[in-house]
């Protein structure tokens, strides 16, 4: 399929939340990980990146607008890496071959949600460029490997549902690609809650954090080589069998181990704070009181909690969270059963959480209609805010 000059292509891509964590690169330049990882892509209703790409002979330079503000695309190594990978795949006889691009990208995340946008951002950047240039994959995961050059975890946003990023063994990284373990429709009972924590601290960036971990943590290497390979198999089996008990326990253990490796780093990296600890303790007691695992927490490179649960438990967990972590303007009204209140305890953590985003596993990148375009026919960004 060839594209006309002046075509504007607009796509969206999801955020993903890892349950088996990626932490540490074995190759900084190619962004190759020290271990495989696994995530779910989130429903794009709440959280997504939308990107428009326009290719035209009218354009003198490549240009890029992020959230309606122009960025210097030339000086961004990561954007350049992705763009170069796309361009070297465009056939020499394509009329688009030597043309410049205008790209506009918007993250529709709630302000200050503390959620990383690099994964959905680079996935959407690569996916939209590939569509605009009319490229198709030469092998499964090829697009994912291109977005990996922007941000490691971006490769997992190239698919919907449950997605594995294979560690790979080749030096050129060609086998370190993402693939789908199961689509979101495989486990429709799954729900995902993001608890946004009130926190003023600036976290250590994950790029520099994982670099220090690789250099200094004795435990990271052991985790990568001896814990993760077995855990990945257990995760995939649990997903395919829709075995929430196993999935939940693995999720919590892997989040804990990731933060353990951060703490074993020198100097140590702390992403979880006292609120994160309180969330862990409330959910641990809640699960114990329930006689089974109803909620599985996971924490990324910051204090926010993400809870994986089943839809049948979502309301009770919302009751639980609103009861123990009340905040202003909370919309949810509910009452927590007395037996749970008794088991979890009487400590209330007021205003420690700022908001809750209710999501679920969702599909991968989508091609959108022209009504959602972020670039007009003159190649200028369209303001939608």
Burial of 139 (0-12, 13-18, 19+ CB in 10 A): exposed
Q: Which is nearer to its own copies, 227 or 336 (CB)?
A: 227
Distances from the Cα of 104 to the Cαs of 10, 85, 150, 214, 225, in angstroms? 9, 19, 16, 35, 40
Output the smallest distance, CB 272 to its own copies, in A: 8
Output the smallest distance, CB 240 to its own copies, in A: 23
Output the smallest distance, CB 269 to its own copies, in A: 10
Residues contacting 270, CB < 8 A, separation 6+: 262, 263
Output the smallest distance, CB 302 to its own copies, in A: 14
Q: Is the Cβ–Cβ distance between 102 and 63 less than 8 Å?
A: yes
Angstrom distance (rounded) from CA 49 to CA 34? 27
Angstrom distance (rounded) from CA 324 to CA 345? 9
Output the smallest distance, CB 260 to its own copies, in A: 4
Q: Which is nearer to its own copies, 206 or 213 (CB)?
A: 213
Give the H/E segment covering residue 84: helix 77-87
Q: Which is nearer to its own copies, 11 or 220 (CB)?
A: 220
Q: Is the Cβ–Cβ distance between 263 and 277 less than 8 Å?
A: no
Output the smallest distance, CB 280 to its own copies, in A: 6
Output the smallest distance, CB 169 to its own copies, in A: 23
Q: Which is nearer to its own copies, 15 or 261 (CB)?
A: 261
Angstrom distance (rounded) from CA 167 to CA 307? 25
Q: Is the Cβ–Cβ distance between 20 and 162 less than 8 Å?
A: no
Q: Is the Cβ–Cβ distance between 99 and 57 less than 8 Å?
A: yes
Q: Which is nearer to its own copies, 113 or 220 (CB)?
A: 220
Q: In the numeric block, which tokens belong to residue 370?
A: 């022209």
Give the distance between the most distant pair of CA atoms in the chain. Answer: 71
DSSP 342: H
Angstrom distance (rounded) from CA 51 to CA 105? 4
Q: Which is nearer to its own copies, 12 or 278 (CB)?
A: 278
Q: Which is nearer to its own copies, 255 or 314 (CB)?
A: 255
Between 244-264 and 206-216, two packed helices, what is the crossing angle to 10 degrees?
80
Question: DSSP for 255-294?
Answer: HHHHHHHHHHSSS------HHHHHHHHHHHHHHHHHTS--
Output the smallest distance, CB 284 to its own copies, in A: 4
Q: Which residues bind its own copies (CB under 8 A)?
A: 216, 218-219, 222-223, 226-227, 249, 252-253, 256-257, 259-261, 263-268, 270, 273-274, 277, 280, 284
Angstrom distance (rounded) from CA 294 to CA 237? 19
Q: Which is nearer to its own copies, 54 or 278 (CB)?
A: 278
Q: Which is nearer to its own copies, 288 or 380 (CB)?
A: 288
Output the smallest distance, CB 226 to its own copies, in A: 7
């Amino acid at each position: 399929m060839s594209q006309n000059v002046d075509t504007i292509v607009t796509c969206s891509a999801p955020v993903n939340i890892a349950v088996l964590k990626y932490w540490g690169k074995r190759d900084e330049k190619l962004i190759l990980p020290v271990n495989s990882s696994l995530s779910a892509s989130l429903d794009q209703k709440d959280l997504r990146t939308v990107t428009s790409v326009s290719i035209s002979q009218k354009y003198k330079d490549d240009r890029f607008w992020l959230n309606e503000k122009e960025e210097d695309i030339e000086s961004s190594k990561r954007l350049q890496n992705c763009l170069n990978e796309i361009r070297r795949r465009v056939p020499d006889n394509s009329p688009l071959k030597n043309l410049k691009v205008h790209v506009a990208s918007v993250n529709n995340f709630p302000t200050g949600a503390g959620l990383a946008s690099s994964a959905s951002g680079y996935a959407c950047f690569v996916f939209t460029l590939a569509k605009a240039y009319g490229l198709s994959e030469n092998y499964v995961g090829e697009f994912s490997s291109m977005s990996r050059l922007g941000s490691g975890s971006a490769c997992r946003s190239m698919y919907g549902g449950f997605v594995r990023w294979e560690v790979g063994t080749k030096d050129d990284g060609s086998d370190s690609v993402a693939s789908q373990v199961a689509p979101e429709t495989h486990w429709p009972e799954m729900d995902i809650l993001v608890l946004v924590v009130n926190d003023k601290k600036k976290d250590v960036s994950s790029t520099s954090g994982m670099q220090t971990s690789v250099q200094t943590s004795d435990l990271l290497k052991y985790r990568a080589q001896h814990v993760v390979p077995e855990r990945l198999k257990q995760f995939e089996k649990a997903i395919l069998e829709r075995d929430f008990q196993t999935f939940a326990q693995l999720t919590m253990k892997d989040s804990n181990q990731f933060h353990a490796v951060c703490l074993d780093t020198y100097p140590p990296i702390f992403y979880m704070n006292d609120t994160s600890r309180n969330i862990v303790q409330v959910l641990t007691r809640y699960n114990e009181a329930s006689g089974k695992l109803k909620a599985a927490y996971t924490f990324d490179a910051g204090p926010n909690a993400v809870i994986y649960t089943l839809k049948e438990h979502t309301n009770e967990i919302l009751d639980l969270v609103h009861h123990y972590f009340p905040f202003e303007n909370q919309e949810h009204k509910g009452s927590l059963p007395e037996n749970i209140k008794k088991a979890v305890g009487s400590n209330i953590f007021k205003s420690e959480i700022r908001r809750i985003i209710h999501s679920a596993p969702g599909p991968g990148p989508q091609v959108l209609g022209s009504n959602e375009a972020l670039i007009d026919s003159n190649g200028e960004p369209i303001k939608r805010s």
